[in-house]
């Protein structure tokens, strides 16, 4: 007796752990139940994916959706809407909101805000401070928490763990992999005069220089190795850090962003001024090439967008009063598909970075693979589609992207979450139905 499916995706080129080939996928009750040939299958809904590649649902493990406290920049509805418009099916959201996500009450508040409003699935980081260190072991295991986030250097917001004593205390009190923004706070303060004296965003990588990042990363790894504690170094930007972290994979996983793989100084600052300003900064070409080498060598584990929007008005102030950060969740996949088209990485490697890597590092239940038993999360892409990225396409509240005017090859055509299409051909479908992501106990390798 043949199975009746809720959804059949037919004739697409499936990208699975077993390789790339044409096939069908059968979905029932929100999960993948069959991968293969389903020509005669009875499906409640059938999507003809001929000519498209069917990827596992894309997971963005670093976004800042600004709610609560700065909803004029972004909120959980608009940020997750931008995510699904860009083919992203799940996100990890950061804790530097107002109030900060540093308590069980603040985490519960975010979960309640997301319920019924999020277009994609979600989980939230809890921020570490010297004051909440001893409660982190309980906090990191709360439902809806994807892990603990440390800011070693000041960025957006007031979360800060600047010294080695505090850093050690935080790491001693965590068991899951800890995500870290690694910039040296003392060096940032010592060099802040550079930004004011030059008075242009091209000063940003000079103020927040290579040593500011590299020194913090060395400090972090020294403590992590001493404690045998797993850390995830976010948005690595320097050739030096990439080479150093290759020798410390026993404790460190590595994230890079599409921005740092795509833009370079000084060109981006001349063209975009403060709209190219982020922390850590976009750097010159040698660092971008160093990141690509690390990616090719397998040192990079995941790519995250570091989606961090600000309004045009805020970005148009005089530097260094301008805030750091740029939108990115919606452009994450188009930019990386364009790099696939240009031969910088394979499609299989991209899936490792955006799907299987997050699953492996963070122990996400049921996500990251196109495989029987997993959630029916799919991102359908046209690898041959040429599109221009425009500000009008951006669904984030800020309404701009640093990549406006760029033509890319490769585009998300549909976003399907637990068997439910939420975006097709550039149009939202259905209603927000994102759910809290689940994690294995003691998650991550």
Which among 58, 60, 52 has a CA at the least distance from the CA of 14? 52
The b-or-e profile of 133-161 (16+ CB within 10 A means b, else e) is beebeebbeeebbbbbbbbbbbbbbebbb
Which among 165, 295, 152 has a CA at the least distance from the CA of 215? 152
CATH classification number, 4-54+371-428, choose in 3.40.50.1820, 3.30.70.20, 2.30.40.10, 1.10.600.10 = 2.30.40.10
Distance of CA 197 to the CA centre of its chain: 33
Contact between residue 209 and residue 281 where contact means Cβ atoms under 8 Å apart? no
Confidence of residue 442 (pLDDT cuts 50, 70, 90): low
Helix (H) or strand (E) holding 60: strand 58-63
Contact between residue 257 and residue 295 where contact means Cβ atoms under 8 Å apart? no
Which among 86, 91, 46, 77 has a CA at the least distance from the CA of 431? 77
How far apart CA 173 and CA 279 sit, in angstroms, is 27
Contact between residue 258 and residue 61 where contact means Cβ atoms under 8 Å apart? no
At residue 445, the pLDDT reads 54
Confidence of residue 44 (pLDDT cuts 50, 70, 90): confident
Residue 415 in tokens: 């976003």
Architecture in CATH for domain 57-362: Alpha-Beta Barrel (3.20)
388 CB burial (10 A radius; 0-12, 13-18, 19+): exposed
Q: What is the pLDDT of residues 233-260, one digit of tens each?
A: 999 999 999 999 999 999 999 999 999 9
Name the pTM for this structure: 0.97
91 pLDDT higher than 70: yes
Q: What is the pLDDT of residues 280-314, one digit of tens each?
A: 999 999 999 999 999 999 999 999 999 999 999 99
Helix (H) or strand (E) holding 150: strand 145-151
Task: Give the DSSP letter of residue 186.
Answer: H
At residue 40, the pLDDT reads 80
Q: Which ranges constitute the DSSP H helices of 130-178?
A: 136-139, 164-172
Which among 124, 127, 138, 213 has a CA at the least distance from the CA of 166? 127
1 pLDDT higher than 50: no
**Mean pLDDT of the residues in the chain:** 96
Catalytic residues: 306
At residue 444, the pLDDT reads 55
User: Interhelix angle for 76-85 vs 104-114, to 10°?
Assistant: 60
Task: Name the residue ranges covered by the structural domains of the chain.
Answer: 4-54+371-428, 57-362
DSSP labels, 189-248: HHTHHHHHHH-SGGGHHHHT-HHHHHHHHHHHHHHHHHHT--EEE-S---HHHHHHHHT-
326 pLDDT higher than 60: yes
- Residues 6 or more apart whose CB falls under 8 angstroms from that of 56 comprise 15, 16, 351, 355, 356, 367, 368, 369, 370, 374, 377, 378, 379
How far apart CA 202 and CA 171 sit, in angstroms, is 35
Average pLDDT (361-376) is 98
Contact between residue 419 and residue 408 where contact means Cβ atoms under 8 Å apart? no
């Amino acid at each position: 007796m043949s199975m009746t499916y809720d959804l059949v995706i037919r004739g697409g080129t499936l990208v699975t752990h077993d390789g790339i080939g044409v096939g069908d996928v059968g979905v029932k009750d929100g999960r993948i139940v069959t991968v293969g040939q389903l020509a005669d299958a009875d499906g409640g809904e059938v999507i003809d994916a001929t000519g498209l590649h069917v990827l596992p649902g894309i997971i963005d493990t670093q976004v800042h959706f600004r709610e609560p406290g700065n909803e004029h920049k972004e909120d959980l509805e608009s940020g997750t809407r931008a995510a699904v418009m860009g083919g992203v099916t799940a996100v990890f959201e950061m804790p530097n909101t107002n109030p900060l996500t540093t308590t069980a009450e603040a985490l519960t508040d975010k979960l309640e805000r997301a319920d019924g409003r999020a277009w994609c699935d979600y989980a939230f980081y809890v921020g570490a401070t010297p004051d909440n260190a001893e409660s982190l072991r309980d906090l990191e295991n709360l439902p809806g928490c994807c892990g603990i986030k440390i800011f070693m250097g000041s960025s957006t917001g007031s979360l800060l763990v600047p010294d080695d004593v505090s850093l050690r205390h935080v790491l001693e009190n965590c068991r899951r992999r800890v995500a870290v923004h690694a910039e040296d706070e003392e060096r940032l303060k010592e060099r802040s005069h550079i930004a004011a004296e030059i008075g242009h965003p091209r000063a940003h990588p000079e103020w927040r220089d290579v040593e500011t990042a590299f020194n913090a990363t060395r400090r972090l790894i020294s403590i992590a190795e001493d404690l045998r504690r797993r850390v995830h170094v976010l948005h690595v930007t320097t050739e030096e850090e990439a080479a150093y972290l290759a020798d410390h994979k026993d404790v460190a996983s590595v994230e890079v962003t599409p921005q740092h793989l795509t833009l370079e100084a000084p060109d981006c600052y001349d063209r975009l001024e403060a709209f190219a300003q982020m922390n850590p900064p976009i750097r010159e070409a040698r660092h971008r090439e160093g990141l690509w080498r690390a990616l090719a060598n397998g040192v990079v584990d995941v790519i995250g967008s570091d989606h961090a929007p600000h309004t045009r008005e805020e970005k148009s102030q005089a530097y260094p009063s301008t805030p750091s950060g740029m939108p990115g969740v919606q452009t994450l996949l188009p930019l990386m598909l364009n790099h696939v088209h240009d031969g910088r990485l394979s499609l299989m490697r991209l899936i490792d970075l955006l799907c299987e890597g997050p699953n492996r590092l963070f122990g996400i239940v049921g996500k990251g693979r196109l495989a029987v038993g997993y959630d029916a999360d799919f991102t359908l892409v046209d690898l041959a589609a040429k599109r221009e990225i425009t500000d009008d396409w951006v669904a984030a509240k800020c309404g701009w992207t640093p990549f406006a005017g760029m033509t890319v090859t490769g585009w998300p055509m549909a976003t399907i979450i637990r068997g439910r299409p939420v975006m097709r051909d550039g149009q939202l479908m259905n209603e927000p139905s994102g759910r809290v992501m689940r994690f294995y106990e003691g998650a991550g390798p």
